[in-house]
Every structure is written in C-alpha cells, then in structure tokens.
Amino acid sequence: MTARSSSLGPLGSGAGCHDLLHVPRQHRGQCVALLYLDLDGFKPINDTLGHAAGDAVLAETASRSVKAVRVEDTVARVGGDEFVVLLADLEPSSARGVAERVAEGFLTALPEPMRVQGRDCRIGVSIGISVELAPPDINALLIAADTALSRAKKDGRDCFRWHQDPP
C-alpha cells in the first residue's frame, strides 16, 4: 500500500495522487478499479471549528482509509477533502465485488463519530467507482470515477455509484 506521512496523517496532502501514475505491473486480462471519494460534511466542520479541526478530521479520515482497504491497494489524498483508492490486479469476475466491499468499508468506517476539539464530529462519504482492464489509462479512470462521484452526490450522498459495469 502506498502511504505517506505528514501533519495530515499517513496519506499527506495532494502529492500522493502521482503514485497512481505508477500502477504496479498488471497481468493482461486483469482489472484495475479506481474509487474517487469526496467527504460529505467536511466543509461545515472546517468552516465552523477552523482549519486545525479540519486537519484533524482529514488525519482521522486518512487513518480510517488505510484500514478500509486491502494491503495491496493504493490510497492517496488528491486535495481538499478528496481521496482516491486504486485497486489493482483484480480478476474480472470479482472486480465488482471487491470494489463494492471496499466502498462499503468506507461508507461504514467514515461516518463513525470523530472526537475533534472536544466535540463529536460526523462526516459521510460519496464514492464514484470506475474499472478498466489492465493496463489502465489512469486519466480515463479518474475522469470516469469523478463522473460517477457526481452521480453519487446528486443521488443523495453517502453512497457509491459506478461509472459503468466492470468489463
């Protein structure tokens, strides 16, 4: 798993997304899935309690994110309150199930209360998922997952949506 350290926790800030451009060598016929996560309810915490509270929420989110994925997956904060997760070397027959289990892990773990500045804070997460046969076009995966994320937000948040069914 790719992880970084900083004051914002194990994933750091922004630069981690570049690791996604170096996808581990895939076997032809395998799939790669990308989950694009956007935190729901982060802005009010950051705006009302301040940036230190926002950073604490991001650090806790990063910590919970690392626990929600498989050891071979890559998690990166791409900026603000957005994260991406790369699930590599998936069998086409199980890609959908693996991606949905990981997404459900985030939907379960992130809404648990976080103690920040003596207060219980809650966030949710909206997730867009895209999948492609290896070798993947990472930019296409990001765009597709972002499109699916927009649908998840439009459909009420705190859910995941697929860009399209896996191959």
- Amino acid at residue number 6: S
* pLDDT in the model for residue 19: 52
Domains detected in the chain: 27-162 (3.30.70.270)
> Mean per-residue pLDDT for 120-140?
92
- What's the distance, CA 1 to chain centroid? 13
> Mean per-residue pLDDT for 120-135?
93
* pLDDT in the model for residue 5: 36
Buried b (16+ CB within 10 A) or exposed e, 33-49: bbbbbbbbbbeebbeeb
* pLDDT in the model for residue 167: 57
* pLDDT in the model for residue 137: 86
- Report whether pLDDT(123) > 70: yes
Q: Which pTM value belongs to this model?
A: 0.85
